[in-house]
Amino acid sequence: MKPMLPTLQPELPSEEIWHYEVKYDGFRGILSVFSRDEITLESRNGKELLHHFPEIKEQVHTLLDKNEFPAPLTLDGEVVLLRSSFSTEFQELQVRGRMRNPQKIQREAARRPVTFLAFDLLQYKQESFIQKPYLKRKEKLREVFVQLDLPLEPSPSQLSSLQMVPRFRNLKEIWERVEKEEGEGVIAKRTDSTWEVGKRSTNWIKRKNWKSCQCFITALDEDNDYFHIGVFDGQHIMSIGLFHFGLSPEEKRIVKASIKQNYTEKKNSLWYIDPAITVEINYLNYHEGQLREPHFKRFLFSTAPEDCTYEQFKKDEASLPTEVNITHPEKELFREIQMTKLDFIRFLRKVSVMVLPFMRDRPLTCIRFPHGIFGESFYQKNTPDYSPRFVETYEEDGIHYTLCNNLETLIWLGNQLALEFHIPFRKANENYVSEVVFDLDPPTRNHFQLAVKAAIIMKELFDGLNLHSFVKTSGNKGLQIYIPLPEGYTWEDTGLFTEFIAHYLVTNYPDDFTIERLKKNRKGRLYVDYIQHGEGKTIIAPYSLRGNKMALVATPLWWDEVNEDLHPEHFTIDVVLRRIQQKGCPFIQFETVKTSQPFQKVIDFLKNRSKQ
């Protein structure tokens, strides 16, 4: 069955008759379930996708086994790798889609499963919904997902490979979320529209969340009418890709004629030209030196080619909030590695969808480096008087702490060169502890394997207690282990637990671990800092940079990475960004697992033990 397709327009309608959905960047697919042995996932071009994504089939089999499944059932949707609730990792999905080896496909499906995001219902048992209006189809789709106990909105923290795309009434609200999470776009759908088989319809209108750049044409490929484009990186011309679409026939004729009249070199079908024709290009994202879906927007007759710089390109590509003015983006921050202030801010922007949920409502302590590591640094707890209006604060003990609750605040802090973010173990206005964290601190980086050994022992111990644990590098020389907690636990409760675990390690491995606070008495052993987990204490936030000479990142890890090959110096900002794209975030289920942690059993055991 050929799918209904939306019409691309620069703006979305805002009348009452329209509802809105997030447009996700993935593989369009129609999922049909007739029986356990008859399940298909048909692509837009009529190809079968299910063998590429066996986790979807396994999820359907589980539903068929456990529930009264409403077969036959046909769903219209998108196969995606979710980065956040509003954005995806399309490049990594393409890698999955090109795989042919069944064993490798199964390994990837287990490591990072895809999600089928259903946004429409076409068939329910013996009843076709194709001719029913959009709202009826959407209501029935929700009813089915409630019946099957499936997620009613997309989230990478949900383990289900079947999730639902909800509808929105407020266009401004959904568009802002898509922009902040760097999603693909939004689709407007008429409430009374039917599902039109194989038709590109104006009853569905999509708007893409374009990025834009200023650049100049460097060459014409006469074989395919593609224009190569670039920007200045110092005195060097850096290629950023090529474009074909967007020019009118007359515009294309004039540009081609101008290039052929003024070319500087011709190689085969390529006509090269010195920088002169400046243009603005819309595109979806920038990956491995190429713009994705580039479209000509307009000529920039008043912009000189020298103004089309790589620094400006990077700033525009980051889609930074307009409310934050970035000052001195060229400032160098470190001695031994090359990183500018703009590089640091771009890193914060890219990890924002992982960082912000973790930092939300937590009173923040920053370490600021106004001159990079070339000058003095200082701790900052009080929010400066000159902070913008979007910065939320929380007062406690006479200190007006910053709450990093939005993207604008995160980028503003980055512009203030707050390189390190330290957060407490509870949220503002809450009395209970959010999580337990163990800080494993070896004497030096050369002793890092002591932290690895301790972490593996603790993981086995926590697994035996059925406690879900997470691990990250400290960004310096150690590891930190997290156990998210259900609501209601006090510092006294968590203190019992952390002290018990620390003493367990020291008692059973006295040559390797110690709880001795004086460094001179540790004698080369790893310090298990259980006292650091307490009221008023803080820990470095996940994905925070550290102000050490290598600019390392406090990086969440997958547990299978904690082995003899692990070393903290590997985790620079470039490595961390690639990890997130390729592997996702190891802390993505941090909040989800809280309610299922059997922590009360552990506390009851420890309290009874202390009475004996």
Instruction: Give the catalytic positions in this structure.
Output: 23
CA 277, 280, 284: angle at the middle one, nearest 5? 135
For residues 357 and 103, give the distance between their C-alpha atoms in angstroms, rounded to a whole number.
Answer: 35
DSSP assignments along 404-415, one per residue: --SHHHHHHHHH
Are 573 and 341 in contact, with CB atoms under 8 Å apart?
Answer: no
Are 80 and 25 in contact, with CB atoms under 8 Å apart?
Answer: yes
Nearest by Cα to 146 from 166, 126, 129: 166
Are 459 and 451 in contact, with CB atoms under 8 Å apart?
Answer: no
Nearest by Cα to 462 from 500, 409, 519, 412: 500
Nearest by Cα to 580 from 89, 59, 55: 89
For residues 319 and 574, give the distance between their C-alpha atoms in angstroms, rounded to a whole number.
Answer: 18
CA 604, 608, 612: angle at the middle one, nearest 5? 170
For residues 217 and 229, give the distance between their C-alpha atoms in angstroms, rounded to a whole number.
Answer: 4
Phi and psi, residue 571, nearest 5°: -95, 80
CA distances from 568 to 446, 473, 524, 571 (A): 10, 6, 19, 6
For residues 579 and 574, give the distance between their C-alpha atoms in angstroms, rounded to a whole number.
Answer: 9
Element (H, E) at 312: helix 310-317
Are 41 and 236 in contact, with CB atoms under 8 Å apart?
Answer: no
Other Cβ atoms closer than 10 A to 87? 23
For residues 415 and 405, give the distance between their C-alpha atoms in angstroms, rounded to a whole number.
Answer: 16
For residues 227 and 246, give the distance between their C-alpha atoms in angstroms, rounded to a whole number.
Answer: 11
Q: What is the dihedral of CA 551, 557, 561, 562, to 10 degrees?
A: 90
Tokens of 530: 């259980």
Residue type, 321: P
Tokens of 605: 């055991």
Residue type, 474: S
CA distances from 505 to 65, 134, 454, 501, 603 (A): 44, 60, 8, 6, 18
For residues 455 and 543, give the distance between their C-alpha atoms in angstroms, rounded to a whole number.
Answer: 19
Q: Helical H runs in 373-444?
A: 407-415
Tokens of 148: 């099957």
Residue type, 589: Q
Element (H, E) at 354: helix 341-359
For residues 403 and 393, give the distance between their C-alpha atoms in angstroms, rounded to a whole number.
Answer: 5
Are 115 and 163 in contact, with CB atoms under 8 Å apart?
Answer: yes
For residues 28 and 31, give the distance between their C-alpha atoms in angstroms, rounded to a whole number.
Answer: 10
Backbone dihedral region for residue 325 (phi beyond 0: left; psi -120 to 50: alpha; all else: beta): beta
Q: What is the dihedral of CA 75, 79, 82, 84, to 10 degrees?
A: -50
